[in-house]
Each structure stands twice: as structure tokens, then as C-alpha cells.
Amino acid sequence: MDALAGLLEGPRARGAFMIRACFDPPWAVRIEDRAPLTVMVMARGEAWIVPDTGERVLLRPGDLAIARGPAPYTCADAPDTPPQALILPGGKCRYPDGRSLNGVMDLGVRTWGDRADGAAVMLIGTYLWQGEVGGRLLDALPPLLTLTAEVWDCPLTPFLREEIVRDEPGQEVVLDRLLDLLVIAALRAWFSRPEAAAPAWYRALADPVVGRVLRLVQDDPAHPWTVASLAAKAGVSRAALARRFTELVGEPPMTYLTGWRLALAADALRDTDDTLEAIARRVGYGSAFALSSAFKRVHGVSPQEHRARGT
């Protein structure tokens, strides 16, 4: 598994919320849905994204933005336009005074807003859950990142524009996979930019010692690694590895290994029907009991509770 693949394998949409939002000015929508990740592609016109904290950004045709939840933000034709709609968790939509807006602005298949041929058209995909491997990705992202059309020319965008309004058998699965590909392509482009603030462990992959250790852990989490065995593979002493790893990654090697194993376990619990025993063996725990104890200590819930929340 290469470094970027390890970081990006988290996005796996299941029944993601996808919509084509169409508006005529003045318009503004307040987003308070607490979604972990939302992707916005400007298909026509312009839109401001105004977070509660941080800099506001202007999206033009072809630009893309990714908002990391759960912080709220506003999308509008101008930064000072007051919100006309409020998006809440669970797909609820209300007027600012609290009245329900569900169904009022529906314009057809996955199309919402003032009119289908509005001056501003935005393609929006929202992940409704947060996986633990995906959690490492979310930790690596700023609250709001953008890619302009000048540096972001993705062939998936025209395809998404066509597919998002189709009502075909299996269309939800098609859109889920399209959203995953769009996110991965966008983040790959973003991480390649010098100004991208990649996480410490990702930057540490360039180090000849720590990078080798990280790859060993990521590629074979089930191996009974110790600081001594990792140090031997890296050709340094245990003390040197512990010191250098902690300095570059921000946590000791075995702490990182535990987090990686539990992240993989969390994803397997969410995405498969494998038994806890099988998952435990696959991620490096000797028994289901050992995995369950570590999982609850770190995440505050049992593996069974975590699996139930993801269904």
C-alpha cells in the first residue's frame, strides 16, 4: 500500500446524499448537518462559501471545495446575503424561522432550489458517516479546501453532472462510486501542492528511517511488531527509532501501530460481516477479547456498538 493509498482508502460512500442545487440571486443556504465531509463542484455561476471561522472563498465554474464537518458554514451568492434555508442533520430542511422546507424546493430527480436552470448550479455530494480510517483522512484536512479550475481539471465532473439527475436502476451505487473517485482525485491533486498541510505521519514517509517503519506497519498490521523488530528493519537502535518516530509523527511507534490497527478494525466492522475474531486476527490482535478491550478503551464503545451504529 503506498502512502497516498493508505490515506485515501477511507472514502467509501454508502447511500451518500447527492444533489444538484440551482439558485437565482439573492440566495443563501445555511449548512448545519454535521456531515463529516461534503464536496461541492461549481457547474455554473458563482457561489461564496462562508464558514463561521476562517476565510470565505469564492467558487467559480469548474472550482471544487471540500468542507470538513461538523463545523457549519453558509453557501450564498454574496457573503452578506441572509440564509433563506437551513440544512440540518438527517436531511431535514427548514426556513430560518423553523418552518419545514422539506419538499418545497424540489425540482426533480436530485435537483433542488429555485429553478432547474438557475444562474448558479452546484453539484453537491455529502458523506453521512465517518469511518475510522477515514478519520485519519479528516484529521489531515483543513476545515475548507478549494481547488480552482486552473489547477483542477477532472474528467469526472461532466460525468457527475449527467449522472446526478438520472433515475436508473442501481443509480445510487453509481453515484456513491463517482463521489469516492471525485474525492480521491481532488485530494490527490490537493496533497501534491506545496501549500497543502499534510499530516505529520504523511510527511514523515519521506524520512528514510521513519518512512520505512510506517510502510511496514501499514502494509502488515497483523505482524507482531515491537520497537526492537521495527528498529532492526530500519537499521537503527530502538532508542533512535523511538526518538525520531515520535519527533516526526507526534506519537511513539507502538501508539501509532495501535491506532492504525483499531482504525482498520473499525472499517472492517462497518463494511463487512466478518466475525470479531476474524477481524482481530487480521489486524494483529490475538483474540476477539483483546481487540474488544483495546477498541473500547480507545473509542469508548464496544466493537458491537460501533458496528450497530454503522448499519
Please give the average per-residue pLDDT across 145-161, as a whole number.
87
Model confidence band, residue 132 (pLDDT cutoffs 50, 70, 90): very low
pLDDT at 282: 94
Please give the average per-residue pLDDT across 237-242, as a whole number.
97
Residue 283, C-beta contacts closer than 8 angstroms, at least 6 positions apart: 221, 222, 261, 262, 264, 265, 268, 291
Task: Report phi then psi at 168, rounded to 5.
Answer: -115, 160
Q: Which three cell numbers stand for residue 117?
A: 436552470
* 263 or 247, greater pLDDT: 247
d(CA 230, CA 213): 6
For residue 280, give the H/E element and its range.
helix 276-283
CB-based burial label for 178 (10 Å; 0-12, 13-18, 19+): buried
d(CA 14, CA 28): 28
Residue 83, C-beta contacts closer than 8 angstroms, at least 6 positions apart: 28, 29, 30, 74, 76, 96
Please give the average per-residue pLDDT across 23-29, as a whole number.
97
Contact 221, 259 (CB under 8 A): no
Q: Which three cell numbers stand for residue 146?
A: 478549494
Please give the average per-residue pLDDT across 153-178, as a whole number.
87
- What ranges make up the beta strands (E) of the chain? 17-23, 28-31, 37-44, 47-51, 57-59, 64-68, 73-76, 85-87, 93-94, 106-108, 111-113, 120-127, 144-147
211: Cα separation from own chain's centroid: 24
pLDDT at 133: 43
| Strands 111-113, 106-108: pairing kind | antiparallel
For 222-227, which contacts have Cβ atoms below 8 Å and span 24 or more sequence positions? 222/281, 222/282, 222/283, 222/284, 223/284, 224/284, 225/253, 225/254, 225/257, 225/284, 226/254, 227/252, 227/253, 227/254
d(CA 270, CA 274): 10
DSSP tag of 107: E
pLDDT at 10: 57
Contact 281, 269 (CB under 8 A): no
Please give the average per-residue pLDDT across 120-136, as a whole number.
76
Residue 78: strand, helix, or coil: coil
| Per-residue pLDDT tens over the stretch 257-311 | 999 899 889 888 877 889 999 999 999 999 999 999 999 999 899 999 988 876 5
